[in-house]
Chains A and B, each alone.
Chain A
Amino acid sequence: MRRYLLAVAAVVLLASPLSAHHSTAMYQMDHPTTVTGTVKRFEWTNPHAFIYIDVKDEKGNSTEWEIELMSLNHLRSYGWVRTTVKPGDVITCTGGAAKSGAPSMISALLKLPDGRELRS
């Protein structure tokens, strides 16, 4: 039974993308979140890239969301360059939000202003 469970765990692990650097245990990956906002800045850095966006609620109040992406080697393999996202772009990010409720998430895919969707 233990051997079977190990085999199942291995298959599940292999079916998911490898975490580039850390586990995603702090994010709610089983309840995907989608946020849309205007890019304030883009940090093209390792071990992870980050985008900061202003997200407006229905009353017009703005909240800054921190969007974590994969590391640069993975982003490059998806076709990213450091100018793929620019300040002022309106983008939509889908991923897992922080369990703490903080406006922070890890994004697995991202929609650019022209509608292109990219792995992130």
Chain B
Amino acid sequence: MIGVAFAIGIALAAAQQAAPPAQPGESPYRIAGRLPVRIMSFDVQPKSIRPGEKVTLTWATENPQSISIDPIGRVAPRGTLTLTPSATTTYTLAVTGASNSADKRMVTVTVQGTTAASATSASHLPKAVPRTADGHPDLSGVYGYGQAPGGRGGPPPAQPVLKPGAEKFKIVRAADDTGQYSSCMPPGIPQSFFVPYYTQIVQAPKSVVIAHEYLNLHRIIPTDGRNHPPDPDPSWMGNAVGRWDGDTLVVDSIGYNDKTEINGYRHTESLHIVERFSRPDFNTLSYEATIQDPNVFAQPWIIRRNFPLLPEYDSLNEFVCENNRDYKPLFGNK
């Protein structure tokens, strides 16, 4: 009962909390970044069942930064779960957000003839990296967009060394150029990993599928020992073959067109990329791309990122660039 009162108290405190006022000239995204989190709803139906029957848990939150349900684990901002609790269980939805805001609510399912289950959640315990039947680490999962190892405040991304005369491959944008993504054309590799959209890996015994939510681009990468076909047609996502080097998936790719960019640089059709994927712990996908183009770079250019596992998602969303705009008229002459 005290716990319920405490939860309601937190909920009221969050509901009454407002974002700190804007400062003159402040970016609206900074203002928005201070909006407090709130729980819109959290419910379970039915609230009383017989052993073996199902219940449905539903929830909705707004402006969250982290969302979890104990004893389930991390969940999406809104969702529905069908569960079969074996004993009377209290579920606690806890959210945190900007400006130190937090909210918490509880619901209880009574399973007739049982006593309350322990509130201890297994979701907080460290998990081992899963392995497939053939012994390789299983990289399957949905991953968020990441940052260079070291995180925020770490060193800036590595810059390439251009070969003499290759300065023209460095991209200089006009003031009214809205960037490489505004055309809705495929970003290619490795750039498809560097956009703020999720990536999903599906690992099968003889192939690995790497899918990107942005533009729903994907590669089906054989890992059965085959080599590249001779002289593949130039393409946006390249021709990739994979192999295992211990616990690291190594993906070798060629056959790129010259229409994509890599972190501010163009390249030629001689682009050759070697990507190394590993899962140093349950929650992290480690990514390293070694980029070579004998027409552009004086030495291999290595870009590293860590991508966080998002256990609250099991598939990507559809992404169709159906409502793209020409933004040039919005610049005007100012």
Contact = CB atoms under 8 A, between A and B. Distances in A.
A120 to B, nearest CB: 7
B319 interface: yes
A21 B182 contact: yes
A74 B153 CA distance: 23
Interface residues of A, number: 56
A119 B63 contact: yes
Nearest to B327: A26
Contact of B31 (A49, A78, A94): A94
A98 B331 CA distance: 7
Nearest to A47: B321
A82 B156 CA distance: 38
Nearest to B174: A25
B125 interface: no
A25 B175 contact: yes
B24 to A, nearest CB: 9
Interface stretch (B32-40, B49-57, B131-139): B32-40
B332 interface: yes
Contacts of A76: 76-78, 317
Contact of B63 (A18, A50, A100, A118): A118
Interface residues of B, number: 57
A108 interface: yes
Nearest to A106: B28
B19 interface: yes
Interface in B287-334: 317, 319-325, 327-334
A51 to B, nearest CB: 12
B122 interface: no
B26 A7 contact: no
A9 B27 contact: no
B154 to A, nearest CB: 8
B35 A79 contact: no
B318 to A, nearest CB: 8
Given A14-B147, A22-B327, A94-B31, 20 more contacts: A3-B156, A7-B155, A17-B29, A21-B182, A31-B25, A32-B31, A45-B323, A46-B323, A47-B319, A68-B325, A72-B319, A73-B213, A73-B319, A78-B63, A78-B77, A94-B28, A98-B330, A102-B329, A117-B19, A120-B32
Interface of B: 19, 22, 25-33, 35, 38, 40, 60-64, 76-78, 145, 147, 152-153, 155-157, 175-179, 181-182, 184, 196-198, 213, 317, 319-325, 327-334
10 contacts: A20-B197, A23-B177, A23-B182, A29-B28, A72-B317, A73-B213, A74-B196, A79-B62, A79-B77, A119-B63
